[in-house]
């Protein structure tokens, strides 16, 4: 009797079990299809992947970098933006008063780096310089009628120099023991102080000097200049930031090589490959 009863119940139970387990069996069959659909959605439906943003500070240092209507502008801004795009990065640039503020922002993780700068120990302590983006020519400038020669040892002992505050020429002059009698924050003031005889000579980047001569309506013949040195000008990236993003420096250096060689071909000039 017991065996007949269990047999009678077995068929309904089997049918119930089959119906109950159908979703599980179906899900197993469709699992690969579901996985494929999810992958497609993540790739296309979730929207484009944003490029990594690099926050860069830049000093008020025309014509390289300056601020106009709240925007960073200048020849260095345009060039570095091309480099970042070539490296697959997005640049977020903001202008600060001077290079000291650039170093402060990098050391306090307000900025991931700054541009453009030539090498000095203060900058090297907190950041790493990329391959050169361009060459920055420092020049001595004296008044047109002056007989002063800033290259002589006599000038170093007895002459006076003006220089833009907290720039690398300022750092260099202090380290070499020159007598600095003027440290204005703008090129307009630097030229005005030189004209007024506040110092015998100025040490200034050539493009900065040319920019402010033109901006103020002066004639280049009012001055006499001579080359002091040529300095590599690059992007400084915070050491902490580079540790957090392995391989980033190499990507940016590779992009610098591409962009600078393209610029050289466009200008018809020969270029030396960027240093690694």
Average pLDDT, the chain: 86
Instruction: Please count the structural domains in the chain.
Output: 2
Find out whether 63 and 207 touch, Cβ atoms under 8 Å: yes
Q: Are 186 and 61 in contact (CB under 8 A)?
A: no
% of the chain beyond a pLDDT of 90: 76
Residue 17 domain flag:
no
Same domain for 121 and 242? yes
Q: What is the pLDDT of residue 265?
A: 80
Q: What is the rounded distance in angstroms from the CA atom of residue 169 to the CA atom of residue 183?
A: 11
In the predicted model, is pLDDT for residue 69 greater than 90? Answer: yes
pLDDT at site 266 = 74
My answer on whether 175 and 94 are in the same domain is no
Shared domain check, 262 and 154:
no
Residue 30 has pLDDT above 90, yes or no: no
Please tell me whether residues 121 and 243 are part of one structural domain. yes
The pLDDT of residue 19:
55
**Where in the sequence is the domain holding 102, given as residue range(s)?**
52-135+232-267
Q: Is the pLDDT of residue 13 over 60?
A: no
Gap between the Cα atoms of 234 and 80, Å rounded: 9
Domain for residue 19, yes or no? no
Question: Are residues 189 and 64 located together in one domain of the fold?
Answer: no
Q: What is the spatial distance between Cα 222 and Cα 24, in angstroms, rounded to a whole number? A: 90
Diameter over CA atoms, the chain:
130
Residue 117 lies in a domain: yes
* One domain, residues 124 and 239: yes
Instruction: Report the range of poorest mean pLDDT among 17-31, 62-76, 175-189.
Output: 17-31
Both 202 and 242 in a single domain? no
Residues 57 and 191 in one domain: no
Same domain, 99 and 184: no
| Residue-by-residue DSSP string for the chain | -HHHHHHHHHHHHHHHHHHHHHHHHHHHHHHHHHHHHHHHIIIIIT-PPPPEEEEEEEESBTTTBEEETTEEESHHHHHHHHHHHHTTEEEEEEEESSHHHHHHHHHTTS-SEEEEE---HHHHHHEEE-S-SEEEEEEEEEETT----TTSHHHHHH--EE--TTSHHHHHHHHHT--EEE--SSHHHHHHHHHTTSSSEEEEEHHHHHHHHHHTT--GGGEEEEEEEEEEEEEEEEHHHHHHSTTHHHHHHHHHHHHHHHHHHHHT---PPPP-
Domain co-membership, 252 together with 125: yes
Residue 45 lies in a domain: no
Residue 125 has pLDDT above 80, yes or no: yes
**Phi, psi of 155, rounded to the nearest 5 degrees:** -65, -40
pTM of the full structure: 0.77
Mean pLDDT of the 247-257 span: 98
pLDDT value of position 36: 55
Do 142 and 224 reside in the same domain of the chain? yes
CA dist 202 to 194, 198, 217, 261, 268, Å? 7, 10, 19, 33, 32
Query: What's the CATH code of the domain at 167?
Result: 3.40.190.10
Q: If pLDDT is split at 50, 70 and 90, which confidence band does 32 have? A: low
Mean pLDDT value of segment 79-98: 97
For residues 169 and 117, membership in a common domain is answered with no
168 close to 120: Cβ distance less than 8 angstroms: yes
The residue count of the chain comes to: 276
On whether residue 3 sits in a domain, the answer given is no
> What is the predicted pLDDT for the residue at 172?
97
- Cα(32)–Cα(138) distance, integer angstroms: 66
Q: What is the mean pLDDT of residues 261-266?
A: 82
- Assess whether pLDDT exceeds 50 at residue 115: yes
Cα torsion at 117, 121, 125, 127 (round to 10°)?
A: 20
pLDDT of residue 274: 42
């Amino acid at each position: 009797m017991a065996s007949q009863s269990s047999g009678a119940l077995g068929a309904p139970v089997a049918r119930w079990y089959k119906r109950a387990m159908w979703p599980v069996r179906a899900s197993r069959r469709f699992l690969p299809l579901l996985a494929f659909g999810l992958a497609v959605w993540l790739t296309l439906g979730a929207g484009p992947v944003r490029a990594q943003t690099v926050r860069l500070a830049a000093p008020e240092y025309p014509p390289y970098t300056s601020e106009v209507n709240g925007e960073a502008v200048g020849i260095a801004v345009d060039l570095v933006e091309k480099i970042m795009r070539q490296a697959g990065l997005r640049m977020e640039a903001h202008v600060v008063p001077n290079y000291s503020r650039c170093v402060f922002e990098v050391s306090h993780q307000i900025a991931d780096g700054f541009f453009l700068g030539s090498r000095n120990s203060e900058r090297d302590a907190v950041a790493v310089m990329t391959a050169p983006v361009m060459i920055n020519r420092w020049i001595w400038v004296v008044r047109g009628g002056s007989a002063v020669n800033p290259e002589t040892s006599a000038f170093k002992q007895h002459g006076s120099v003006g220089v833009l505050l907290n720039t690398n020429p300022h750092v260099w002059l202090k380290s070499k023991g020159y007598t600095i009698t003027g440290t204005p924050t703008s090129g307009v003031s630097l030229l005005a102080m030189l004209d007024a005889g506040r110092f015998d000579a100025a040490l200034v980047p050539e493009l900065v000097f040319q920019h402010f001569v033109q901006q103020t309506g002066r004639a280049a013949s009012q001055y006499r200049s001579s080359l002091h040195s040529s300095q590599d000008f690059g992007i400084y990236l915070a050491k902490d930031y580079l540790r957090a993003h392995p391989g980033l420096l190499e990507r940016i250096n590779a992009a610098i090589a591409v962009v600078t060689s393209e610029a050289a071909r466009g200008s018809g000039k020969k270029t030396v490959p960027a240093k690694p």
